[in-house]
Amino acid sequence: MGTLNSNNNPQTQSNFPKFNPLDPEEFRTQARQMVDFIADYYKNIESYPVLSQVEPGYLRTQLPENAPNRPESFDLIMKDVQNHIIPGMTHWLSPNFFAFFPATVSSAAFLGEMLCNCFNSVGFNWLASPAMTELEMVVMDWLANMLKLPKTFMFSGTGGGVLQSTTSEAILCTLIAARDRKIENVGVDEIGKFVVYGSDQTHSTYSKACKVAGIFPCNIRVVPTCIESDFALSPVVLRGIIVAAGLVPLFLCATVGTTSTTAVDPLGQLAEEFNIWFHVDAAYGGSACICPEFRQYLDGVERADSLSLSPHKWLLSYLDCCCMWVREPNVLVKTLSTNPEYLRNERSEYDSVVDYKDWQIGTGRKFKSLRLWFVMRSYGVANLQIHIRSDVRMAKMFEGFVKSDPMFDVVVPRRFSLVCFRFNPNKEHEPGYVEFLNKKLLDSVNSTGQIYMTHTIVGGIYMLRFALRIDM
Amino acid sequence: MGTLNSNNNPQTQSNFPKFNPLDPEEFRTQARQMVDFIADYYKNIESYPVLSQVEPGYLRTQLPENAPNRPESFDLIMKDVQNHIIPGMTHWLSPNFFAFFPATVSSAAFLGEMLCNCFNSVGFNWLASPAMTELEMVVMDWLANMLKLPKTFMFSGTGGGVLQSTTSEAILCTLIAARDRKIENVGVDEIGKFVVYGSDQTHSTYSKACKVAGIFPCNIRVVPTCIESDFALSPVVLRGIIVAAGLVPLFLCATVGTTSTTAVDPLGQLAEEFNIWFHVDAAYGGSACICPEFRQYLDGVERADSLSLSPHKWLLSYLDCCCMWVREPNVLVKTLSTNPEYLRNERSEYDSVVDYKDWQIGTGRKFKSLRLWFVMRSYGVANLQIHIRSDVRMAKMFEGFVKSDPMFDVVVPRRFSLVCFRFNPNKEHEPGYVEFLNKKLLDSVNSTGQIYMTHTIVGGIYMLRFALRIDM
């Protein structure tokens, strides 16, 4: 059915040539040109200012108000990419990018993503593309094994994993699974009493997810942390707050590697005696746990109900790729499943296959596991460990430079590859003045376009964040 | 900072070579090989069974239990793709795929996505990559213009658009914006009274999104439709239900092109006198409205609060790409914004730039607008219209075949490129027997691997869905 007889087709006789948007040979030619563009971009990336220097609104004035009516050439579009898009990019893959957390990448993941797009299969249920579902199950177990997760999180045990796009989605899915399980016990009218817990260092997306899920904002409890415990969640303080609440404790989100300072909450000591869903957000720090020397940070994870970890941060996987494991898939599926007639099929009904649409918010989904499969196979576990260790070693080196200079402080202990420090030339200075100095320093560094780093404020202390990596 | 002096690096002297996962020349070589693989796949796609013929669990037995410790070669991985992955694929891009809705693609979108991955920038706020935010604003206005949307949905007017991954996310975002605006007026304790409306043809993801947002399941009202009105939402029936509710009407989701039969709800006559958030889900049908002859189906959209449309369905854009426009961005931003210290910057605070993280559930986001920009420029509006019209013409042709055969019925009027029909050889047959015959027919067609089509049941009638397209 690929061809429409052109004799019956008045359009082909019009001013426009027959329209074939996926001619394999045109695809081959143009995609090769794009590969060359990208390889050259990676080669020359250091020549661009890492932080874009454009002003707000710069692009609109350079582009037409409307889409063109007639086709424009690949060369013309690529010229605009070079002239108008690249100057407005903040180059996250630049070796001079030390802001936020790195979004690490690799040839292998790029290839896997090309293949994912090649197929463009939509894997909402098993039948819609069996390989999509089954490879995802395999790689989720592979990564679980690399992290030495308990069998309770694996398909080869009693749990299972799924690829989400972001931590936000992972948290939202587990949260509503927890919420609906609780509603079954206590009734939907009690939703106003459901209380959720995190620390003041939990990612901002957590409280957003809680609000999305209908948790009353007044019931989102934030456990304060302090510099004395390296901004980790204190089990003692948490226990006091949970007990004091007198409401319905629902959900706790602990973090392995907080966004501000990479603090690690003590998983093994949290949420012991409460009937609460315990989620571990290991978006950044979790990846390091593929190395035995970092695995301690996941100690206690066997008591969690769910865990999320984003390989797009530190496992070379490109956006957007967040792994989520759950101990009781049936609880998740119960709350997220849909069963419209147009998706019904015998495989789903009689063969108890995994239908991943019931593990996520949306219906459609891509073949993301190819990326992780390509990464794990192309490099092997040993190289992925080398990659983590190299970044950490580089951070240690930078930490050493900071420590050796009396004008600078390392503000919190470095655990992974982020160094939090500040310029503090005279210990007599007022805190406000030290903050002012550091803001000045940050602005002057970033405005050069030669380095991009960011800041945070934790425990009232303004500090600079320097996130190291040596991928390229 | 891209290099770590190898003299200081004991790992480089170990059994593993120095690890550089993004060497530009290795990238160039391998990515070109992948381009060739993909071009060949597209060339030969018709040679594969369109619906995978594997059995559940087929893949696990063929793959090792653990990720390898040492690297494996690109050739070996690609051999496994050919031998183990491809047999398990349902080939959505095959010209023999007529199931669900097509997920259309194009060289241009593939190139745009390659470039998106190339940069791998994370555009949560303006500063994190100005070009990402600004190009998205431009293409959302371009597409809005192509659809002749009112200025109230455009940045060049008083609204604006954003790219989500899926319709589910678009609905969820607008729903919680509506919910939180209502909560401001009536108080959070009233959430148990919020009522939402859709028809029995609204996509299943709608009720899922409502449940995610904490709408009580008993308050998700389903307006029945009937064959006499082509399964479109009846304004009269809706009005009766809204008035009868006596609760707090919150949200209405209307559809332009329902999933089962591409019914179109009469936007211009809905939700007139109620203080309700009115969302239009035009995931499939919306794309056709770039042609003047189909634009009527969006008549009345000027009264909606929000609109979503998925170019990954019918505008050649690969997954996952869903456009969403809102009339009052500030209502959306109010409910979805976060402002953690580590993301604060002067641009966001003083220049009132768009920070797209406040228009979506998650924080991280990709440079998806490149795909749409490449599609619109590479083909031009005129060719995109030709593409829509060719598909529709093909569907008309198929509809003609069905109609000319007295053994078959067209069950509902064809509007776009989906034909809903059934085998009905003898009008005296019991409905149950007709259903049985059609199930048999569907199974026997699909089991050949030569065609894949699906079914639905609407108004009690079992029918076959044949979704036409001629992209390749």
Residue at which a domain ends, from A350, A376, A402: A376
Per-residue pLDDT at A84: 97
Residue A191 predicted with pLDDT over 60: yes
Per-residue pLDDT at A471: 62
Chain B CB contacts of A59 below 8 Å: 130-131, 134-135, 138
Residue B404 predicted with pLDDT over 80: yes
What is the spatial distance between Cα A337 and Cα B31, in angstroms, rounded to a whole number?
Answer: 38
Using 50, 70 and 90 to split pLDDT, how confident is the model at A13?
Answer: very low
Using 50, 70 and 90 to split pLDDT, how confident is the model at A17?
Answer: low
Residue A165 predicted with pLDDT over 60: yes
Residue A8 predicted with pLDDT over 70: no
Residue B13 predicted with pLDDT over 70: no
Same domain, B140 and B257: yes
The answer to the question of residue A327 being in a domain is: yes
Same domain, A355 and A461: no
CA of A161 vs chain B CAs: smallest distance (Å): 15
Task: State the alpha helices, DSSP H only, in B122-268.
Answer: 130-146, 167-186, 204-212, 235-245
Chain-chain contact of B39 with A24 (C-beta, under 8 angstroms):
yes
CA of B272 vs chain A CAs: smallest distance (Å): 27
- Region B206-211: mean pLDDT is 96
Same domain, A80 and A201: no
The answer to the question of residue B313 being in a domain is: yes
Per-residue pLDDT at A350: 76
* pLDDT tens digit sequence for A257-286: 999 999 999 999 996 777 899 999 999 999
Residue A2 predicted with pLDDT over 60: no
Per-residue pLDDT at A244: 65
The answer to the question of residue B440 being in a domain is: yes
Same domain, B196 and B317: yes
Same domain, B169 and B277: yes
Same domain, A325 and A396: no
Whole-number average pLDDT of chain A: 93
* pLDDT tens digit sequence for B225-254: 999 999 999 999 999 888 766 789 999 999
- Region B361-375: mean pLDDT is 97
Q: What is the torsion angle, in degrees rounded to the nearest 10, for the CA atoms of residue A325, residue A327, residue A330 and residue A333?
A: -20
Nearest chain B residue to A260, by CA: B342
The answer to the question of residue A349 being in a domain is: yes
- Using CB atoms, pick whichever of A35, A192, A393 lies closest to residue B35: A35
The answer to the question of residue B409 being in a domain is: yes
- Three-state DSSP at A34 gives helix
Q: What is the CATH classification number for the domain harbouring A46?
A: 1.20.1340.10
- Region A433-442: mean pLDDT is 96
Same domain, B247 and B341: yes
Same domain, B218 and B337: yes
Rg (CA), chain B: 25
Record the tokens describing residue A244, joined without a space: 């004091």
Same domain, A231 and A312: yes
* pLDDT tens digit sequence for B155-183: 999 999 999 999 999 999 999 999 999 99
- How many structural domains compose chain A? 3
The answer to the question of residue B177 being in a domain is: yes
Per-residue pLDDT at B12: 42
* pLDDT tens digit sequence for A377-395: 999 999 999 999 999 999 9
Per-residue pLDDT at B471: 62
- Region B410-438: mean pLDDT is 95
User: For chain B, how far is it from start to end, CA to CA, in angstroms?
Assistant: 46
* pLDDT tens digit sequence for A332-356: 999 999 888 888 888 887 778 999 9
Same domain, A144 and A35: no
Q: What is the CATH classification number for the domain harbouring A236?
A: 3.40.640.10
In which domain, by residue range, is A344 found? 110-376
What is the spatial distance between Cα B351 and Cα B355, in angstroms, rounded to a whole number?
Answer: 11
- Three-state DSSP at B418 gives strand
Residue B11 predicted with pLDDT over 70: no
Chain-chain contact of B213 with A209 (C-beta, under 8 angstroms):
no
Cβ atoms B471, B105 nearer than 8 A: yes
Residue at which a domain ends, from A345, A376, A407: A376
Residue B210 predicted with pLDDT over 60: yes
The answer to the question of residue A308 being in a domain is: yes
Residue at which a domain ends, from B321, B353, B376: B376
Per-residue pLDDT at A72: 97
Lowest mean pLDDT among A17-21, A282-286, A455-459: A17-21
Where b means 16+ CB within 10 Å and e means fewer, A211-242 reads bbbbbbeebbbebebeeeebbbbbbeebbebb
Cβ atoms B92, A120 nearer than 8 A: yes
* Residue with tokens 């993801």, as numbered in its chain: B205
Interface test with B, best of A85, A365, A372 (most B CBs within 10 A): A85
User: For chain A, how far is it from start to end, CA to CA, in angstroms?
Assistant: 46
Per-residue pLDDT at A4: 41
* pLDDT tens digit sequence for B335-353: 999 888 888 888 887 778 9
Same domain, A77 and A189: no
Looking at residue B218, its amino acid is C
- With CA atoms as reference, report the closest residue to A290 among A379, A360, A206: A379
* pLDDT tens digit sequence for A46-80: 999 999 999 999 999 999 999 999 999 999 999 99
- For A401, residues 6+ apart whose C-beta sits below 8 A from its C-beta are none
Counting every residue, how long is chain A? 472
Per-residue pLDDT at B351: 72
Where b means 16+ CB within 10 Å and e means fewer, A378-402 reads bbbbbbbbbbbbbbbbbbeebbeeb
Lowest mean pLDDT among A235-244, B159-168, B210-219, B413-422: A235-244
Same domain, A224 and A313: yes
- With CA atoms as reference, report the closest residue to A100 among B96, B364, B435: B364
What is the spatial distance between Cα A74 and Cα B16, in angstroms, rounded to a whole number?
Answer: 41
Instruction: For chain B, give the percent of residues with pLDDT over 90.
Output: 87
Instruction: For chain A, give the percent of residues with pLDDT over 90.
Output: 87
- For A442, residues 6+ apart whose C-beta sits below 8 A from its C-beta are A453, A454, A455, A464
Chain A CB contacts of B102 below 8 Å: none
Q: What is the CATH classification number for the domain harbouring B388?
A: 3.90.1150.10
The answer to the question of residue A14 being in a domain is: no
